[in-house]
Amino acid sequence: MSVDVEKLWELQSVLSQLADREKAMSVKPEAFAEVDREFQSVNDEMLRLNQSLETLGKEHRRVEGELSDSQELLKKYQGTLMQVKNQQQYAAAWKEIEVARKHVKELEESALKTMSEIEGIQKQLDDRQSSYDGLKARHDEAHAAWQASLGDLRGEAEALRKKAGELEAALPEQERREFQRAFKQRGGIAVSRVTNDSCSTCRTRIRPALSQRLRRGELVTCEGCHRILYLEKTQA
């Protein structure tokens, strides 16, 4: 079967130009990278503080709930104290009251402690929030300036993407599959040029039998790197 490896080579070259543009577009200029790092670190810090706030808030509500139950219980014991009939019942009721009072006191202390922790974290959050808006504005501005500077690259990438799509759509099914397989498995280089009877990517020598098939225009892959081999017309 004769194939037009020329088309695969062209597709390969368009895709590698596209990869260059995409790489260039992904590199953050230092002016943006600097404010971006600061912004990300403030965001991470605020996220961490908010998470602590949430955990402490839950803990505080739990303690408050338990405190309110214990206060009810204490009241109930204090009520029974009024109804005791003898010294023995009085001693027993008194003992329950003592235990309940101690528990209430512990819970009150615990609630105070979480409340003061919550206030501390809230203060840290407020401090950061006051500078956050200014930092975000600087971040967004630097980001917009960077994106605006990419105008040309973006247009070129768009054109290359379109061209690659057209070339790929025009390929016969088997060649497209073979190309895509090699492209995916071989680090974005599916087609390798043949120079001096060797694969120019991995330097494996092309055996004469394969060389003959190449010259006949068959789809031949390199025995070393499994890329599709491309022999320029002038050498064929």
Closest of 139, 150, 149 to residue 22, by C-alpha: 150
Tokens of 33: 């990278």
Between 75 and 203, whose beta carbon lies closer to Zn ion?
Answer: 203
Binding region for Zn ion (CB under 5 A) out of 6-14, 128-136, 170-178, 225-233: 225-233
The letter for the amino acid at 101 is R
Between 80 and 201, whose beta carbon lies closer to Zn ion?
Answer: 201
Neighbours of 235 (CB within 10 A): 12
Q: What are phi and psi of 76, to 5 degrees?
A: -60, -45
Tokens of 64: 């408050």
Binding region for Zn ion (CB under 5 A) out of 38-46, 142-150, 179-187, 194-202: 194-202
224 binds Zn ion (CB under 5 A): yes
CB of 198 to Zn ion, least distance (A): 8
CB of 216 to Zn ion, least distance (A): 20
Between 219 and 225, whose beta carbon lies closer to Zn ion?
Answer: 225
Task: Return d(Cα 195, Cα 106) in angstroms, integer.
Answer: 84
Separation in Å, CA 168 to CA 5, 9, 11, 49, 171? 12, 11, 7, 50, 5
DSSP code of residue 221: B
Residues of this chain, 50-109, that bind Zn ion according to CB under 5 A: none
Angle, in degrees to the nearest 10, between helices 87-149 and 30-82 = 170
Of positions 35, 121, 219, 225, contacts Zn ion by CB under 5 A: 225
206 binds Zn ion (CB under 5 A): no
Please work out the total of residues on this chain that contact Zn ion, with binding judged by CB under 5 A: 7
Separation in Å, CA 13 to CA 2, 43, 160, 164? 21, 41, 10, 9
Of positions 35, 199, 220, 228, contacts Zn ion by CB under 5 A: 199
217 binds Zn ion (CB under 5 A): no
DSSP code of residue 27: S
202 binds Zn ion (CB under 5 A): yes
Give the x/- contact pattern for Zn ion in 152-191, rule: CB under 5 A. ----------------------------------------
222 binds Zn ion (CB under 5 A): yes
Contacts with Zn ion by CB under 5 A lie at 199, 201-202, 204, 222, 224-225
